[in-house]
Structure 1
Amino acid sequence: MSTSSPADRTRALTTREREAIVALLERGTSSIRTLPITTADRARWLSQVPHTLAGRSCGCGICPSIELTDAEGHTPATVDGRVVLQAEAPGALLMLFVEEDRLSYLELAPLAGDSIKVFPASTDISTDISTW
Structure 2
Amino acid sequence: MIVTVLLVAAGAAVGAPLRYLTDLAVQGLHDAAFPFGTLTVNVAGSALLGFLAALPAGDGVMALLGSGFCGALSTYSTFGYETLRLAQNGGRLPAVLNVAVSVAAGLAAGGCGALLARLLA
TM-score by length of 2: 0.29
Q: Highest CA radius of gyration, 1 or 2?
A: 2
Q: Which protein has greater RCO, CA pairs closer than 8 Å, 6+ apart?
A: 2
Question: Higher helix fraction: Structure 1 or Structure 2?
Answer: 2
TM-score by length of 1: 0.27
